[in-house]
Each structure stands twice: as C-alpha cells, then as structure tokens.
Structure 1
C-alpha cells in the first residue's frame, strides 16, 4: 500500500467515528433507542445490517481461505445461507416480531421464567466471547496482510475501536454504518472482479489453469452431508442468534420482518459469486500459499490489481464490514447484561444509570473478546474455530428457543434439557472421545451430530407431551401476558422514531455522496479501469444526493 491508500483509510475511519458520534446524543435517551433503535427501523436498513453483520464474520478470511484452497465449494457453502434467509423470512422472523420484546432474553423470561433466562444468558455470553473473537480475528488478519502491522497489534487496535464505537452510538450507529459499508464493498467489488479476471488472462485462461476439481460443488472435507447440515445450522443461527433477533424486532411490523429475511437471502444468492472470485483467481496467480497463509488470499489478490487509493477504500470497507459482526454482538450482549441482569438486580435504576451500565458492559465484553481473538492461532486457526463453534453450540443453543415460538407444549424442562444435554454430547465427542477412546469425528460427522441431536431431543419431548396431552402452563401464562400487552403502544416514541429514520437517511446519503466523490477523485489518478471507476463514483454521488433530498422531504412531512 502507498500513502494515498493510508489517507483513504484514515478519512474513512474518521467518517465512521463521526457517524457514531452523531448518533450518541440520540441513543442516550432510553434503552429502546440504544438497543432497538426505537422499534421502527426501515426494513431495507435492517436487512442490509443483518446481511453485513452475518457475512462479514469470516467471508474474506474463512471462506476466502476455502475458496483459494478448494474453489467453488466455498460458494456452495455460502448459498446455504441464502436458503436460510428465505426460511427465516418466511417462518421465524414474523414469530419474533409478534413477541414484541426488546431482546431474546426478554422473550425467554416471558415464555418460561427468570431461572431459564439466566441459564441461557450465561451460556450465550460465554459462547459469544468465542464468536465475537472469531469476528475480530479476520479484521486483524486483513490489516496484517495489507499493512504489515503485527497480528496482535492489529487485534488490539481494531478491538479498541469497535468497543469505543458501539459504546457511544448504539444500534442506530451500527445499522447506519452497515449500509455505508455495503455500498462501499458493492462498488469496489464491481471494480476488483473484472480487473482480477483480466489480470489472469480472462475467464478461459482461469478455467484452464485452475486445479483439477476446482469447480466441484462439494469436497471430501465439505461433503454433501456437511453442506446440508450446515445449511440447517445457518437457518437456526440466523433465526435464533440474539444479535440477529434485533433485526427482526426493530422493524415496524411482521410484514417488514419477513422482508428483512428475504432481502438477506436474495443478497446471499449473488454475493458469494462476486466475493469468492478474487481468492479463487489468486490460486492461479500464486500457488504457494499454505497453512494459515491462505487466509490472506483475498487481500493479496486485491493488492495485485486495485489502483492507488481504491485498495485503501476496499480495506477500510472490509475492516468495518467485518467489525460490524463484532459491533452487533457487543451491542446485544451489553443489552442482555443491562436489561436482563442488572435491571433485575436493581429494578429502580434510573435511565441514566442503565445507559452507564450499558456502556461499561460493552467495554468489559469487548476486552474479553480481544483476549479470545489473541488466542485463535493457538486453537488451530480461524477456519477450525468457526466450524467447531458452529457445530458444537449453534443448534443446541438456539433451536430450543425457536421451537418454543411455534410449540404450545415445550416448557423449561424440555428446552434446558435439550440445550445442556446436546452441548455435553458435542463437547464429549469433540474433546473427550478422541483422548479416551481414540474416536474422532470428521468435519461432516461433527456438523451432522451438532444439528441432529437437539432436533431428536425436542421431537421426542414434543411427541411425549402430545401423548400425555400435556400443555405447558408457562405457554398459557405467556399468551395471557401477550394479550394484555397488545393494548399497549409506543405512540410517545413515534415522532422520535420518524425523526431518527429521516436523520439516519440523511447521514447515510451524505456518506454515500462522499464515497462517490472520493471514488471519482481516486479514479482520476488510476492508470487502469479509469472510466469504470469514475462512472461508479458518479452513480454513488447521485444516489447520495437523492437520499439527502428524500430525507428532507420525510422530515418535513413528519413535522407537519
């Protein structure tokens, strides 16, 4: 990278921080504003935020590594996420919106009881340390590959930035910057893909030089069985992860919550094709990457072909898009600690005190996350950590709660037994059986076990309760509480929500316009792809201007 790339990254980072600060005052007012963005986020914004938070956890490093090593199978794996999005939009997201809760922990308390909620809260917070650590590590890896800054220093730098940003801005800030990051990455990937294809001599040359079986849909490590099980895991993880539940509950109604899932699915049909091509193309440029070095294949391809300044913009977008996953999880984890633990211990706490606890808990969780990220190389690398955490914890932790959204019979005994027993079985086969019995599961077997065992447990409970004609007393109490809550509205927040929507649109419009202007200026310095780059910049400048105009009209109407 050269001086212009670093300047671009600095300006982009400053812009992101500025956006967080602009939302700080608006997120100070109450818990619902900080953690649920007022309860009426536009579905387009929520859907893009869900997409950015989900894909960025490992796309560029985890799946980019697989794309470099194995090829098309990385795209097949990610297409299961598109199917998961459609399933969530059709079935799960509307159910979450019906609950009317602020967090998933709040739903567990209402549907079961406080003891059940505590167990799931502690499990979620513990497991989240590993998932957020796996979000932070790829960002640091990107910085290490691009700038030469040591990995541990990169982890500390980005971890500190994310902690500061989320503790200041809340969910409105996270979602607004998610949209900007989506715009940046979409624009830059349109630039990098044709340049990368041209760099290897065209599509035909790429196909001819690619390794054998590089375009197979599955692989010996990632078999059809693994892909099916992983697809089911994605549907459960996307539909039940506490950070993503916010994206379904913060929109206006059930119809919009469906659209959030469907937009996610649509984007995941297209995006894997574009994002996996650069590391796949890099395989024919450099065949020598091995071990953990292939985690940097995506960035190495970008360094080969992107013009001056555009690489810096790409790097900035990738850093903050990947950090989006960390931001979302920090926000919801802080919400759980504040709303579902501290508030119950101190029920008469003032709003000011709760906001202070929210920010302190964000800092505490962030520090623990940084420590986990520093340990990932000792755990076998990011690919091993992501796949293992998914297989061990994803379905056991989230499926029982999702099942309870549809079932009248499941009670706290069934969901807790399923979760704890499933986690114990998975841990046994992952860590104990290989040592005591020399029995090790393959990656496919590990994933299938992690998915099927909790399904079987819940199905058996459902069958038994139906056989004895048992209905959950906790469910009946929950329904009664919901009927009472139906008469309650948030009219007092409606004006503030409308104002926040218009304000957010204006901020995003300014950001998009600034990005477009930046791309136009960088295009004038480019020696390759100049016309393409300038045209994309002009489009974004016009789009940003339109969004600003739209926000002004919206604000004017809301004041009337």
Structure 2
C-alpha cells in the first residue's frame, strides 16, 4: 500500500513531528511545578480543553473503524450515530452535578476524592484499576496503529512503533498537559480538514451528494432502530442500549476517568470547565457525522470500483475494511496531500496516546508516589520526577505493544466491551459518594467487584445481551450491593455490635461544593445553559428521524 508515498510526503510528516517537539520544548520552559505539568497551573481556556477532549475521542480506530462500520460491517450503517445522542445529555449531567465538586476540591487526581469520601483503600483500588486498564488498552492501541502504519508505509512493525511512540512520548514528557491540550487542538484541525477533503473527493467521484446518497445502500441508511431493545434479542446497536448505555458510559468516562477529568481540571475556573464540556457536547456530533459520511462515500466508491476492495490486505475474516480510508487516501489524493493524510492518521493516534500517558503519570504520582512519600520535595524535584514517570509509562506501553500480538485481534474486537465491563460500576462508586452518607469504602468496593463480575457473566453466558447495556447493569448491581452492605452494617450498629458513624466526609463534600457553585457562579446560570444541551439532543434526534424517513 506504500506505492504512492513520495519524498515530499515524508518531508511533510517529518516537519509535523519536528514542529510538535519544538512546541513541547517551548511549553516546557514555562513549567515550574508538578501542578504546571499535570493541570497547566489551572489556567487554560475552555476552547483548547473542549477541542482536546474531542480530539482524544477521535482516535485512529474511530477514524478507520467508523467508516468501515458504515460502509461494510454486517448490521452496520448509520446506526452508529445513535451512540452520539447520549453525549449532550452526559455533558449536562457533568456540568450540573459532577464538576462543581471536583473543581471545589482542587484535585489533580480524581481518585483523591475517594479517599476524602471513603478511605485510602477505595482510592488505591480505583486508581490501580485505571492504571491497569489504560496501560493495557494503550499498548493494544499502539499495536493496532503500528500495524496500520506498517501496511501503509512498509516501514516494518518495529519502526512503526518507534515512529509513532517515540515522538508522542518525547513531546508528552516535555510539554505536560498543556502540550497535550494544544497538540490535540492542532491534530483535531488537521484531522477534520483532511476528512473534509476526502469527503469532497468522494463527492466528486460520485457526482455530488444527491447521487452519492441515492447510490448508498438503503438498508445502511437507517439511523434509528426502535424495533429492537438489545436485551437478549441479539441486536447490539438498537436505540435504547445506545442511548441509555451510552449515557452511563459517557458520564463515567468523562466524569470518573483520569484521562478526561484531568484536562477539565486544567481550566481557569468552573465556568471555563463547563464551557469546555458544552463545546464537546455541541460539536462532537458534527465531527462524527463527518467521518460517517466519509464511510458513505467509501461504500459508494467501493461498489463502483470492485478492484478497490480487492486491493485491501486480507485478514482472517476477509478484506481488512479498516484500511479502506487510508487506501483511498494514498491512491486518490495527489502528492503532498498524501503526506497530510498520513499526518492526520498519526494525529488521531497521538491524540489518543498523549493524554493517556500524562494521566497515567499523574495518577502514579498523586495516588502512590506523593501519597506514600514521607518528606519534602522541592517543586522542581517533583516536576523532574513527574516527567520521568511519564517517560517510564511511555516505555512500558511501547514494550507491551510487542507482547500483545497473539491477543490483540480478539481484544480489538472487544475493546469497547472491556470498557463497558467497568464503566458502570466505577460510576456507581462515585455516585454513592455523592448522594449517600452511610455507604463506606468496603461497601462500594464489593459493589464494584460484583458489578464487574455480573457484566463478565453477561459476556460469557448471555452474549445476546447488547454490551452497551452492561454500563447500566453494572451500575445497578454495584449500587444495589453497596446499599445492601450499608444497610446490614447499620443494622449491626443498631444492635450495638459496632459503633455507627457516618463516613468522615459523607456526602457533605458534595453538598458544600454544590452550594458554593450556586453562590459563587450563579451569574453564569448553568442550569439554563444546560437546557441548550437538552435542546441539541432533541434536534439531533429529529435529524436522525428525518434521515430514517
């Protein structure tokens, strides 16, 4: 697949990578402490943070996988757009009920809240779970993207890992979270521009949008599935699991995952944080719609050019449809634009990796190193140590990428399922902290483990249940188990066996933060602004109904 890549294209790729390193070096000169490194001195504006959040979600797997799902997957098509309906609603929940607390506590690691509310064991359990899942998922991501780079460029797997990983780790180590955020913005702009350009080429090849739409398979035009429920009927992508399961997934991911919350904590105040979430809630759907339309164009182009599909590399399951977009890019785009298209693919990969590496470092530093270190470190010493930890995690994930080859194909198919195993139970732990007084650390840990176990049983024993429902099922099980343990504990306390006492902080932390939010930030009227997100959800639902009809 590398027959169209020229020296000019490689020069463009090199210039992009060198430019990122130069920006990271410039930003590194402004860092004086670990807070500068991990939360940018809490002084970033809402637009960079909002766009950075969007960029992380538009990974290479999404850019390659979503068009392939729309164009080729069995049972695929525009149904994927249903998944995006939950995003505006999730952003409204975070704006009103989650971020006021985290901003009030001035956290660096979101899991530090769990020690204040519950105990150290709860903090370390959730933090350790994050480190394990994110490091493993990152290694698999590096592996899969390196395979794509190897197939496109012919560099070889090792060189592809180093090309992708070395530059990402270097600018991440130097630039910190500010480098992550600003590089993500640059990468998102490049990616969106190239997707628009590819769509324009596809429209031209089809004779215009009307002709392209008419040539697209009628069964793949369906954007809503109200006929199925996904709860045992074998239909994974029905409307209700994608909306409700997606809502729980997105609230958990954007509100309880260090890789996302850390950037939201980097803004200058709660208003900027909420504006960043508002930007993500409003602009994410148009971006996803863009690469789904690219999928529509690829489907029409493949139908009219049978040799196109024949040119795709073969996998165990047939043609590797995930490579349809890069194959089209390098075969159709002129010299120079091919280089930019590869930069766009690298950008999508880097925007997924950089934030994860920084958040792995932040969690390690805050929840383990500083938490157990006895003695004083200077701010400069902490900064150097933070950079070193980032480099170590970068090295670990790159080395792990060489060790997941035998399991990566299975994991890649199930990567969203793995996330859904834990998202609901993790969200339940935080919600129990927000709204209860008597639930304690051991109770929520028991709920977390049993919630994940029930989801695992659904995966193994009830595969006909949509994995999107696991986000709801795991949440419900974890809450029920934690509340049951708390009730048993209270009944024992009433009998005098143990001393009954509320958790040290109870939900008072949450109540205080909400009161502070209402008193200090009332002039921003976020309750009214959140209605914009609800209205946007209604408008998007109307658009999908229109597409269906």
Give the alignment's TM-score, normalised by structure 1. 0.77
Residue equivalent to 1:50? 53
Post-superposition, which runs of at least 4 consecutive aligned residues in structure 1 deviate over 6 A? 466-471, 480-483
Higher helix share: 1
State yes or no: 1:101 paired with 2:107: yes
- 8 Å Cα contact 1:182/1:321 also seen in 2: yes
Residue equivalent to 2:68? 65
- 8 Å Cα contact 2:237/2:466 also seen in 1: no
- Alignment equivalent of 2:503, drawn from 464, 468, 473: 473
Q: 1:58 to 1:157 in 2, by over 3 A?
A: same
User: Once the two structures are superposed, what CA deviation does each residue of 1:450-488 show, in whole Å capped at 9, x if it has no partner?
Assistant: 4323224315645886896987323249749989xx9xx
State yes or no: 1:183 paired with 2:189: yes
How many correspondences in the alignment? 475
Q: 1:193 to 1:365 in 2, by over 3 A?
A: same
1:23-422 paired onto structure 2 within 5 Å: 23-27=27-31, 29-56=32-59, 58-69=61-72, 70-137=76-143, 139-217=145-223, 220-228=235-243, 229-286=245-302, 288=309, 291=318, 293-350=320-377, 351-374=379-402, 375=404, 378-381=407-410, 383-422=412-451
SS at match of 1:149: coil
SS at match of 2:237: coil
State yes or no: 1:19 paired with 2:30: no
How far did 1:45 drift? 1.2
How far did 1:425 drift? 2.7
SS at match of 2:505: helix
SS at match of 2:504: helix
User: Once the two structures are superposed, what CA deviation does each residue of 1:255-280 show, in whole Å capped at 9, x if it has no partner?
Assistant: 22211111101111211111222233
CA distance in 1, matches of 2:432, 2:155: 46
User: Once the two structures are superposed, what CA deviation does each residue of 1:240-292 show, in whole Å capped at 9, x if it has no partner?
Assistant: 11111112222122222211111101111211111222233212223536647
Q: 1:238 to 1:309 in 2, by over 3 A?
A: same
CA distance in 2, matches of 1:205, 1:151: 40
Moved more, 354-363 or 457-466: 457-466
CA distance in 2, matches of 1:310, 1:360: 37
SS at match of 1:58: helix
Residue equivalent to 2:11? 7
Moved more, 453-462 or 125-134: 453-462
How far did 1:8 drift? 1.0
How far did 1:154 drift? 1.7
- 8 Å Cα contact 1:111/1:474 also seen in 2: yes
CA distance in 1, matches of 2:356, 2:69: 25
- 8 Å Cα contact 2:10/2:339 also seen in 1: yes
CA distance in 1, matches of 2:79, 2:501: 45
Moved more, 191-200 or 363-372: 363-372
CA distance in 2, matches of 1:53, 1:176: 12
Unmatched 5+ residue regions in structure 2?
226-234, 304-308, 492-499, 517-549
How far did 1:189 drift? 2.8
Q: 1:100 to 1:260 in 2, by over 3 A?
A: same
- 8 Å Cα contact 1:49/1:175 also seen in 2: yes
CA distance in 1, matches of 2:416, 2:406: 15
- Alignment equivalent of 2:472, drawn from 420, 427, 451: 451
- 8 Å Cα contact 2:60/2:349 also seen in 1: yes
How far did 1:300 drift? 2.3
CA distance in 1, matches of 2:27, 2:151: 32
Cα-Cα RMSD: 3.0
Q: 1:345 to 1:93 in 2, by over 3 A?
A: closer
How far did 1:218 drift? 5.1
CA distance in 2, matches of 1:195, 1:57: 20
CA distance in 2, matches of 1:251, 1:377: 41
- 8 Å Cα contact 2:144/2:408 also seen in 1: no
Moved more, 36-45 or 305-314: 305-314
Give the alignment's TM-score, normalised by structure 2. 0.78
- 8 Å Cα contact 1:43/1:257 also seen in 2: yes
SS at match of 1:26: coil
Unmatched 5+ residue regions in structure 1?
487-560
How far did 1:227 drift? 1.2
How far did 1:327 drift? 0.9
- 8 Å Cα contact 1:240/1:401 also seen in 2: yes
User: Once the two structures are superposed, what CA deviation does each residue of 1:185-233 show, in whole Å capped at 9, x if it has no partner?
Assistant: 2333332222211123323332343334111125744223431313421
User: Once the two structures are superposed, what CA deviation does each residue of 1:30-50 show, in whole Å capped at 9, x if it has no partner?
Assistant: 110000100121111111111
